[in-house]
Structure 1
């Protein structure tokens, strides 16, 4: 009896005709159901030699906690350390290149192409600007930490200065309250006088009509024993009349001089 050979591509969408690829036997969209049998999910079997390992592979990382505890390996370069910042690839600054080309006298497209091939200008990244602004120089004499609290003023406590200050504040507060009360009383008194129709008010004209006798200022206080005995030790004028005439001439001379006190130059004559 001859053995029947079944083509595995018969159960695919292409069938026996057309191009056959190995990926068709594992694609769920191209596989078809076999009559009277369950559908093959097209999952590959695990090899029986034991080389297959389930799970995700462990990525080999240099510079981890294990290496830090056991010491950094000598063959580890400084570029793979975890604290090394990554180098950012900055873009070319075409505006600066065009400006430099125009300054050198290159205008055509071919000249600009050759200039860009031989010259290179990169744009500044935002990270470099931030690091430059953040860096600052710390003076060598700077001390870190919290400043020491000043000592308690023992002499002020012994002399009861805080008590005296509190008493002074209380006295000032009482004086201010009394002044406010007196102002309120004066204001109420004025209101009562305004409401009284029989009261006579003084006007400016009535005040100007009343004559006020001139009152001389009180002389400065002196010791009684020096009132009659204390005389000036130097007399620059020959007599009292000479003194009066000198001051009169001085006052009359101030009229023709400039200045608020009449000490300036003479004013010119006005026709």
Structure 2
């Protein structure tokens, strides 16, 4: 009954109903459409196919007809497998431009346009590692060769009866315990010996170590030396530096090169 009403009046399930003003845009407006009883609300574009539209591709007719469905899948022709839409195609290798360029030069084509036309009509692919071994080589198998896994050696039943595996494990454990005790005894400290502590090590006299000289380019260590010597002798030079160090106390400046400071109270 509802289908008949809907076919007679498509605006029966809209907000205005049969008595209100009806417009064609109401049939596509989700805010004005009302849900039908026992049916889900349809959402989507108005350009969707009809309700009874079936998606997908139709099945190809079989040679035996509908009776083949009861007897399983028929044998497929191996030559027809390449025509299937989802068949796995062989991956082509890259083009070998070095061979193409060589062939073009041999044919007398040297310009860019001539090479472009030559490559459009000729195609050479790179050879893979498997192309060299395409020949089927039959491997000659010796007549005495046996396939399969070698037989496991028999279990020594006399060793099991004599508990030899148990004795071997006990001996290995005993040897491990002895070696462990020997290592612990070596690590024990002798109470008669005196051991150094951090404080005793710091109190010991340490030989003075000269500070490393400042870094200098190797070419300046030999060649770039002072060309002028303003002091008459090395003794005069030391006296001058001693006087300079004693005079720094009363001068201003970070290095003691400034003027003399006034006396401070």
TM-score scaled by length of structure 1: 0.33
Greater Rg over alpha carbons, structure: 1
